[in-house]
A and B are shown apart, each in its own frame.
Chain A
């Protein structure tokens, strides 16, 4: 089985987000980039399948050379090789077209991604890749078993959890639950040393245009100061909840 894991390089979750003074771009100054947390769950699942089903695991990132440390980390966690599509991830349409091309050319059986990347919160690249490749697709996967070409998976469907079956080839968008957090793989020294000699192939992007243009970024409107209510005066809080927040 050939598995492709899509990795997005995103700002560390504690980062303070700033934009350039003209509001046109995200300001990368002082930001540390990490593997998108949801992708990390899917990557670990792929490494488990590598051991249990003899799968090969390729990781894929779309971006300039600055995303290579994140791909090397994925190699150190255990992926066999990496591909970087040398393009700027302008929008989900562009990125999905790049991934789909690699999927088709490499005839991957299973494409694992995170459900959403924590920077642009699009949450649609996995489904777009499935649409391009005509692979089966499930979103928000919280449990996955592969037996030959048969897949059984659990998915979150907005307030309910379904167990579903389908066959490979497939695109599966994972999140916490596809593996447990305690099972996430952390690179060890041996893995880090090995990663240095694993192949990281750089390919040029296919011609795909972005369909979105960013007009600008802004920060959410700052909240006005908190209204503190004494625990001895909860009547005031009840009035605020009823009249201001219209809670009941």
Chain B
């Protein structure tokens, strides 16, 4: 039976994490010698998936799937194809569908997966635990498996090959969730999927000073984020709050400006590949978790850094 990759999408567009999911599933398919099927719901253009090794793409277009319901999505997925291993993103959408799939198929569900399996039989893999303060290696008891991949942990990897795109119709027991309205909460770049995140803390003194954070983010194609007190005071929206009780991230580069680096903040960002800390307190705990540090006043360092990056890019 095939390996199935599910494509996270929103408003008919593929999410970046889906390319990572396809890459991950392709890796498993190659390791196990099984075929790979990639399933996308209500997506306009799926051809970009082929760049990541999706040779067998199943497109489903159905008004019942306009409103996200984990149950309806899981039923629809199982009605168009079945496999032995399902790979989804560890997003709110992917993890919810994964849970329904695992119950319906009596499959082992492994969430927040950080790396490719070290063994295919029994399926053994590392996953995040204790908010990144621990890594857990687990083995599945069944051959049927559902994995959800922590965004940015494996990366999207291009793979040559073209394939077929087919359309299928889904059968479900009906969607009982109605969407009344939708509001975008992320800026130009979605926070959880961003390669680079520029984040500000209480050291920035007030919301009027976020212009330089946004400018630096724009320059790097980054998303913006903030520490919890900044969201609590209302300087920035709650959707930007990262940390143990906010969003957990694993970008390639996390830039922390005027953030102390409390344990609860680190818990959400410690999976970042590189961390740059700008803080005027040499004793700020964040420096211990950083790769690069600048001890200085953010109001001088950040504007100067922006000018230097502009010059370097020119």
Of the listed stretches B23-31, B52-60, B94-102, chain A binds B94-102
Flag if A131 contacts B180 (CB, 8 Å). Answer: no
| Contact residues in A for B99 (Cβ distance below 8 Å) | 96, 124-128, 130-131
Flag if B263 contacts A234 (CB, 8 Å). Answer: no
Q: Give chain B nearest CB distance to A175 CB in angstroms.
A: 8
Question: Who on chain B is nearest to A175 by CB?
Answer: B245
Q: Give chain A nearest CB distance to B137 CB in angstroms.
A: 4
| Contact residues in A for B74 (Cβ distance below 8 Å) | 131
Flag if B102 contacts A137 (CB, 8 Å). Answer: no
Flag if B139 contacts A215 (CB, 8 Å). Answer: yes
17 A–B contact pairs at CB < 8 A? A13-B263, A131-B74, A138-B177, A139-B92, A156-B92, A157-B93, A160-B182, A161-B182, A162-B182, A210-B141, A212-B141, A215-B139, A218-B135, A220-B133, A223-B289, A226-B287, A228-B292
Flag if B179 contacts A139 (CB, 8 Å). Answer: no
Q: Does A241 have its Cβ within 8 Å of any Cβ on chain B?
A: yes
Interface residue from A13, A14, A139, A218 paired with B134 (Cβ < 8 Å): A218
| A227 to B109 alpha-carbon distance, docked (Å) | 40
B: contact size bracket:
35 or more
Q: Does A92 have its Cβ within 8 Å of any Cβ on chain B?
A: yes
Q: Does B176 have its Cβ within 8 Å of any Cβ on chain A?
A: yes
Flag if A215 contacts B137 (CB, 8 Å). Answer: yes
| Contact residues in B for A176 (Cβ distance below 8 Å) | 238, 245-246
Flag if A216 contacts B184 (CB, 8 Å). Answer: no
Q: B271-314 CB contact bits vs A (8 Å, 1 = yes)?
A: 10110110000000001111111111100110011001100110
Provide the main secondary structure of the chain B interface.
Answer: mixed
Q: Give chain A nearest CB distance to B4 CB in angstroms.
A: 18
Known A26-B134, A229-B292: A160·B180 in contact at CB below 8 Å: no
A38-B245, A162-B182, A175-B245 are known contacts; what are 14 more A-B pairs with Cβ within 8 Å? Answer: A13-B264, A17-B134, A124-B95, A127-B70, A128-B109, A156-B92, A156-B239, A158-B15, A166-B178, A176-B238, A176-B246, A220-B271, A238-B312, A245-B253
A: contact size bracket:
35 or more
Flag if B133 contacts A123 (CB, 8 Å). Answer: no
Q: Give chain A nearest CB distance to B282 CB in angstroms.
A: 9
Flag if B96 contacts A137 (CB, 8 Å). Answer: yes
Q: Give chain A nearest CB distance to B63 CB in angstroms.
A: 16
Flag if A248 contacts B313 (CB, 8 Å). Answer: yes
Flag if B138 contacts A219 (CB, 8 Å). Answer: no
Flag if A247 contacts B196 (CB, 8 Å). Answer: yes
Q: Does A177 have its Cβ within 8 Å of any Cβ on chain B?
A: yes
